[in-house]
A = this chain, B = another copy of it.
Amino acid sequence: MKDKDQRAYQMLKDNQLSVTDSRKNILGLFLHSEGALAHADIEKKTGEKFDRVTVYRTLQAFMEKGIIHTIPTADNSIRYALCKDDCTEGHHHDNHVHFICTVCNRTTCLASVTVPEVELPRGFKLTDRQMIVTGICIDCR
Contact = CB atoms under 8 A, between A and B. Distances in A.
Interface residues of A, number: 40
Please tell me how many copies of the chain the complex holds.
Answer: 2
B118 A127 contact: no
B131 A125 contact: no
A53 interface: no
25 contacts: A69-B74, A70-B74, A71-B74, A72-B72, A76-B76, A76-B78, A97-B118, A99-B120, A110-B124, A113-B118, A116-B116, A116-B118, A118-B131, A118-B133, A120-B133, A122-B138, A123-B141, A124-B133, A124-B135, A124-B138, A125-B135, A125-B141, A126-B134, A127-B136, A131-B132
